[in-house]
Structure 1
């Protein structure tokens, strides 16, 4: 009696295979993709993957940002993909943020971008009574915090337009930008200087980006503290110098060989 060879037996599930392949298409250079991008990569028609994309969107593995245009959704993060992607960077950043905290005696945080939010994935907190300690897992709208603005500087204008096409900005308190043109101008200024400062609720945060081997900003770090401890331009300048130097050292470990942002 003839038996099938292992090559003749195919236990793969085509729809599942294609769904996972779609999720794998996203990376630091391809954060927003279209259904045509999916179809081209899989060498199929857009109609043949319509139900797969719809299912991934309904389950929040994809987030629709415009017509036939998608980014990774929150379920990808909540089910561990974010941890797997960020595990190495957290390991690299930890000792540097601890050293920075000891130098400036203020809390330091690390975040990555998910959609319009900056997600805090590590903190090195100051133990003194006057301190700002944001818990790991906290999400803050990118346009309303220093680290978030820095993360947005890695996006081009078309990406920003797609990201904020259906988002209202006027519901956030000052000094957050209240319109998309205002946000673009703020981000452009942050991109030029290489750092951002944000004051709110009697606290001040200064942030800058971490760059990978391609020069892309993959994360942001900050120094944050109460205004009582950030009350002079000279002190803020000293903190900024330490922050930028720390970011440059971390970026070097991430493979970036540039001289870093301006001081």
Structure 2
């Protein structure tokens, strides 16, 4: 059914955005049997003129969701595949990590979190919340700058120094409180030490977190996990060593399921 037909049949379109609907409809036209489409074909299926979809096609092309392969002929762009695989990979990762993090929480009575890197942010994908009065509880979907947290620093440790330089070339670091690094050279030095150590301990006002990385079959850091709890519980070197050992063992098990 075309957009014009929607209007004719009286469907509720008050809250719909026609340009967005057309853009998504265009992407849905491509499949295993229909790999390329001409502008005229796309316009005909939408029930509009070619001029009406020109800006939409151009926008999808600029964003990588479509690729122009000949005059007025299009195919799906690489961003469609990238987004799809990123989503599937993140869901697979959560499914694999979930039982291990729940078990780690039960053994330690501390909260556990799982995150991945998106640009310079650490994106929280899962939490195993410890049900005690003083617990660290960061909601799923939270984004925190990588250089400010234990998990974020672990995620950055998976980058080579040149890639890290390029990532932070235009990012201001001096707006964050200690112990976050204030300059790119400080960040490079800190991440270099984290990379050699393989784990990070980070203290904030009332809590402490220990984080380490999850690796795929290529040995790349694809995610980070942590144990976090009240400073009073994690203050001694003995307790830190015990929690760190449990965390590293859990990371090994999750990495093994990813082929690491």
Q: CA deviation at 1:158?
A: 1.5
1:127 aligns with 2:131: yes
2:92 matched residue in structure 1: 88
- Pick closer, same or farther for the CA change 1:226–1:84 going to 2, 3 Å: same
User: Please, what is the CA RMSD of the aligned residues?
Assistant: 2.7
Q: CA deviation at 1:56?
A: 1.7
Match of 2:161 among 151, 157, 161: 157
Q: CA deviation at 1:103?
A: 1.1
Q: CA deviation at 1:202?
A: 1.1
Task: Give TM-score, length-normalised by structure 2.
Answer: 0.70
1:242 matched residue in structure 2: 246
Q: Deviations over 1:79-107 (max 9, x none)?
A: 87643221111111011001110111100
Give the match's secondary structure for 1:228. Answer: coil
Q: Deviations over 1:194-225 (max 9, x none)?
A: 00011112111100000000000010000011
5+ unaligned residues in a row in structure 1: which ranges? 1-8, 15-50, 60-71, 257-263
1:188 aligns with 2:192: yes
Larger radius of gyration: 2
1:37 matched residue in structure 2: none
Query: In 2, Cα distance between the equivalents of 1:91 and 1:10?
Result: 32
5+ unaligned residues in a row in structure 2: which ranges? 1-33, 40-57, 66-77
Task: Give TM-score, length-normalised by structure 1.
Answer: 0.69
1:12 aligns with 2:16: no
Query: In 2, Cα distance between the equivalents of 1:152 and 1:240?
Result: 19
Q: CA deviation at 1:250?
A: 0.8
1:109 aligns with 2:113: yes
Give the match's secondary structure for 1:94. Answer: helix
1:138 matched residue in structure 2: 142
Give the match's secondary structure for 1:12. Answer: strand
